Homo-oligomer: A and B are copies of this chain.
Amino acid sequence: MSKSAEQKINAIVIGAGGVGVVTAYSLYHNGVAEVSLVTRSDYDHVVEFGYKLESCDYGQIDSWKPHNVYKTVEDASAAEKFFDYIIVTTKNIPDGPKDSTVHAILKPVIESNHELDPKKLTNVVLVQNGIDIEKEVLEHFEKSTYNLCLLSGVQLIASTKVGPGHVVQKGKDNVSFGSFDKTDEVAVEQAKKLASIYHNEGHNTGAFDDNVRRTRWNKLLYNAAINTTTALVGLDVSRCFEFASKKESTEFGIFRPAMQEIAAIAASENIAIDEDLIEFFNEEVRNIMYKPSMCVDVENGRLMELEILLGNPIRTAKANGVQTPTLCLLYNLLILVQNKLKEQKKLIEFNEETLKLVV
> Which chain A residues have a beta carbon within 8 Å of chain B's beta carbons?
229, 232-235, 238-240, 242-245, 249-250, 253-254, 286-287, 289, 325-326, 328-333, 335-337, 339-340, 343, 350, 352, 355-357
Residues of B within 8 A of A232 (CB): 232-233, 333
**A355 engages B233 (CB within 8 Å):** no
User: Which of B229, B240, B330, B336 lies in contact with A243, CB distance below 8 A?
Assistant: B336
Closest Cβ of chain B: how far from A331's Cβ, in Å? 8
**B289 engages A339 (CB within 8 Å):** no
| Cα(A242)–Cα(B340), bound, Å | 11
| Cα(A31)–Cα(B229), bound, Å | 54
**B340 engages A233 (CB within 8 Å):** yes
Residues of B within 8 A of A233 (CB): 232, 333, 336-337, 340
Residues of B within 8 A of A235 (CB): 336, 340
Residues of B within 8 A of A244 (CB): 332, 335-336
User: Which of B287, B325, B336, B343 lies in contact with A250, CB distance below 8 A?
Assistant: B336
Residues of B within 8 A of A286 (CB): 355
A-B contacts, 14 of them at CB < 8 A, read A229-B336, A232-B233, A233-B340, A235-B336, A235-B340, A238-B355, A239-B339, A239-B340, A242-B356, A253-B332, A254-B329, A325-B325, A326-B329, A329-B329
**B229 engages A335 (CB within 8 Å):** no
| Cα(A291)–Cα(B254), bound, Å | 26
User: Which of B238, B328, B337, B357 lies in contact with A242, CB distance below 8 A?
Assistant: B357
Residues of B within 8 A of A229 (CB): 333, 336
Residues of B within 8 A of A325 (CB): 325-326
| Cα(A235)–Cα(B343), bound, Å | 11
User: Which of B253, B332, B356 lies in contact with A249, CB distance below 8 A?
Assistant: B332
Closest Cβ of chain B: how far from A320's Cβ, in Å? 19
| Cα(A352)–Cα(B333), bound, Å | 29
Residues of B within 8 A of A239 (CB): 336, 339-340, 343, 350
User: Which of B242, B328, B355, B357 lies in contact with A355, CB distance below 8 A?
Assistant: B242
**A254 engages B332 (CB within 8 Å):** yes
Closest Cβ of chain B: how far from A230's Cβ, in Å? 9
Which residue of the partner chain B has the closest CB to A238?
A: B355
Residues of B within 8 A of A242 (CB): 350, 355-357
Closest Cβ of chain B: how far from A155's Cβ, in Å? 26
Which residue of the partner chain B has the closest CB to A335?
A: B245
Residues of B within 8 A of A287 (CB): 355
Residues of B within 8 A of A357 (CB): 242-243
Closest Cβ of chain B: how far from A342's Cβ, in Å? 8
Known A287-B355, A355-B287, A355-B289; contact A336-B253, beta-carbon cutoff 8 A: no
Which residue of the partner chain B has the closest CB to A311?
A: B245
Known: A233-B337, A245-B335. 8 other contacts (CB 8 A): A239-B339, A239-B340, A243-B336, A243-B350, A244-B335, A249-B332, A253-B332, A254-B333
**B243 engages A335 (CB within 8 Å):** yes
Closest Cβ of chain B: how far from A322's Cβ, in Å? 16
Residues of B within 8 A of A331 (CB): 245, 249
Q: Which 7 A-B pairs have the closest CB atoms?
A: A243-B339, A253-B332, A233-B336, A238-B355, A249-B332, A243-B336, A245-B335
